[in-house]
Amino acid sequence: MAQFQELAEVIRLHRKVAGLSRVQLAELAGVGKTVIYDIEKGKEAIQLDTLQKILKVLNIKIMLTSPLMEDLQNSENEKG
């Protein structure tokens, strides 16, 4: 739940700094205005492609971290 709320806050902040209303962001992203409202309220169910459209408009990138992948890369670097 905390991660969705953090995402909501990041989107809301970027939207406001960009000077966009929810309706304007929705139009630019090609999604319904209720989608923006739902995300900013922390709704946990959203399609990934919809989220990607919104993040692209706001110039936000998602980065994944994986302890397993980090361990694998470290192991390969040690073998060198």
Give the CATH number, domain containing residue 25: 1.10.260.40
Per-residue pLDDT of 16-50, as tens digits, reads 999 999 999 999 999 999 999 999 998 878 899 99
Per-residue pLDDT of 65-75, as tens digits, reads 888 988 888 88
Residue 23 CA to chain centroid, in angstroms?
A: 18
* Cα radius of gyration (the chain): 16
CB 57 within 8 A of CB 29: yes
Global model pTM greater than 0.75: yes
Looking at every residue in the chain, the average pLDDT score rounds to: 91
Q: How many domains, in total, are found in the chain?
A: 1
Q: Is 57 exposed, middle or buried (0-12, 13-18, 19+ CB in 10 A)?
A: buried
- Type of residue found at 23: V
State residue 49's pLDDT score. 95
- Give the domain extent around 36: 2-79
